[in-house]
């Protein structure tokens, strides 16, 4: 349709006016969208504060037997009982809104079994989870949006072992910084596990890890396929619950199989891009016969720190002064003079700090709700 022009005003002026109207409408539209997103966030805030991290009182159920949640499925969960047998269970309506996660200690009751095939088909749920015991620790990462402010990784763990391969996929220091912040948030121990050490020459000192060596973090160089570097890990595992996390294809499940001879987890092939394909699809609780438990988790793309408190950055980036930690964006990471003045041994860490600092500020309804 051709544009209709008014008489008595130049066509150019009328075209400009049309453009202004259009941009004004766009602005109104975007404001409306933003307001509706804010309304959505507020609604979810109320829901999450009560449901996801705060556990209902388990005291009335202490007479019921205790079990450990070892794997979540979409409809039910697998429990490991005190005698180490595994039982499939549904969740009681009392737990509506509570997000359970691998490692949770729960109280369960046997479900009344009405139909005979129920009794014989052990694949169907045989019990019902009634309550959750308060968590000793909760390892979580920021969610993608406010619909899911936190993604829970594991409950009641003692340590996080972040796995990073020397190649395939490449070692990304940014992931290690994020993982350390999450471990600090959960109040649990932290180790860096370098995997596929056999894929790099012995002369390669892996300089990407130098900043983490200086932090004094324990770093273990391993090759699960050659059986190298595993003994010290087995020593640490003694009586601890350890979560393995890292990018897909770094070799977490291969490491579990090497540490726990009976685990027999599925191992993935690499894609032609040298990245994994998420062979492991759900977190799994895997006890070692000699004590200690590994939790194998699915490969992650990144670990969001959205909504976590910024105080966690000081121990992750201790080389920065309080002035920088309070407002890292005030320092231009591309300005040589600024970097010289800060006298940084690893100047790229300023950008990492800035990235995490901004991400933490992103609104998260559960910001004040640390461990539930």
Ligand X SMILES: Nc1nc2c(ncn2[C@@H]2O[C@H](COP(=O)(O)OP(=O)(O)OP(=O)(O)O)[C@@H](O)[C@H]2O)c(=O)[nH]1
The site for ligand X (CB under 6 A) is made up of 195-196, 198-199, 223-225, 246, 248-254, 267-270, 276, 278-280, 298-299
Tokens 């691998």 belong to 102
**Partner interacting with residue 224 (select from Mg ion, ligand X, none; CB below 5-8 Å by kind):** ligand X
The span of 50-58, 92-100, 155-163, 253-261 binding Mg ion (CB under 5 A) equals 253-261
Helix (H/G/I), strand (E/B), else coil: 372: coil
Determine the residue with CB nearest ligand X. 299
**Partner interacting with residue 254 (select from ligand X, Mg ion, none; CB below 5-8 Å by kind):** ligand X
The span of 21-29, 30-38, 207-215, 278-286 binding Mg ion (CB under 5 A) equals 278-286
CB atoms within 10 A of CB 199: 14
* Helix segments in the chain, DSSP class H: 11-51, 116-120, 173-186, 210-214, 231-237, 252-259, 313-316, 322-326, 336-342, 348-361
**Partner interacting with residue 270 (select from Mg ion, ligand X, none; CB below 5-8 Å by kind):** ligand X
Residue 253 lies near Mg ion (rule: CB under 5 A): yes
* Cross-strand pairs, 150: 142
**Partner interacting with residue 223 (select from ligand X, Mg ion, none; CB below 5-8 Å by kind):** ligand X
DSSP symbols for 335-346:
-HHHHHHHT-SS
Instruction: Report DSSP state, residue 146.
Output: T
C-beta closer to ligand X: residue 268 or 307? 268
C-beta closer to Mg ion: residue 252 or 349? 252
C-beta closer to ligand X: residue 204 or 239? 204
C-beta closer to ligand X: residue 198 or 362? 198
C-beta closer to ligand X: residue 90 or 225? 225
Measure the CA–CA gap between 238 and 73, rounded to whole angstroms.
28
Query: CB within 8 A of 225, min separation 6: which ones?
Result: 196, 198, 254, 258
Residue 279 lies near Mg ion (rule: CB under 5 A): yes
Binding site for Mg ion (CB under 5 A): 252-253, 279-280
């Amino acid at each position: 349709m051709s544009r209709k022009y008014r008489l008595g005003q130049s066509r150019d002026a009328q075209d400009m006016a049309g453009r202004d109207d259009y941009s004004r409408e766009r602005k109104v539209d975007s404001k409306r969208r933003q307001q509706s997103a804010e309304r959505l966030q507020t609604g979810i805030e109320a829901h999450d504060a009560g449901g996801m991290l705060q556990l209902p009182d388990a005291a009335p159920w202490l007479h019921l037997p205790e079990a450990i949640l070892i794997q979540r499925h979409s409809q039910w969960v697998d429990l490991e009982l005190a005698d180490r047998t595994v039982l499939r269970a549904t969740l009681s309506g009392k737990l509506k809104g509570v997000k359970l996660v691998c490692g949770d200690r729960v109280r369960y009751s046997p479900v009344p079994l009405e139909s005979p095939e129920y009794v014989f088909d052990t694949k169907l749920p045989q019990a019902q989870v009634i309550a959750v015991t308060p968590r000793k620790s909760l390892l979580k990462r920021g969610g993608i949006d406010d619909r899911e402010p936190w993604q829970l990784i594991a409950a009641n763990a003692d340590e996080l072992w972040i796995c990073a391969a020397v190649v395939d996929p490449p070692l990304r220091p940014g992931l290690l910084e994020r993982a350390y912040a999450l471990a600090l948030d959960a109040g649990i121990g932290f180790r860096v596990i370098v995997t596929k050490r056999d894929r790099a020459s012995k002369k390669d000192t892996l300089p990407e890890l130098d900043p983490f060596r200086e932090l004094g973090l324990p770093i273990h160089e391993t090759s699960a396929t050659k059986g190298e570097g595993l003994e010290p890990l087995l020593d640490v595992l003694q009586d601890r619950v350890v979560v393995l996390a890292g990018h897909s294809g770094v070799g977490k499940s291969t490491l579990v199989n090497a540490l726990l001879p009976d685990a027999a987890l599925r191992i993935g092939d690499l894609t032609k891009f040298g990245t994994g394909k998420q062979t492991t699809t759900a977190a799994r609780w895997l006890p070692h016969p000699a004590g200690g438990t590994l939790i194998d988790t699915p490969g992650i793309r990144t670990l969001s720190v959205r909504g976590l408190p910024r105080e966690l950055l000081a121990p992750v980036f201790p080389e920065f002064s309080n002035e920088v930690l309070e407002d890292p964006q005030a320092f231009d990471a591309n300005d040589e003079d600024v970097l010289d003045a800060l006298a940084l041994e690893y100047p790229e860490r300023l950008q990492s700090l800035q990235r995490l600092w901004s991400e933490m500020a992103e609104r998260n309804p559960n910001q004040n709700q640390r461990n539930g």
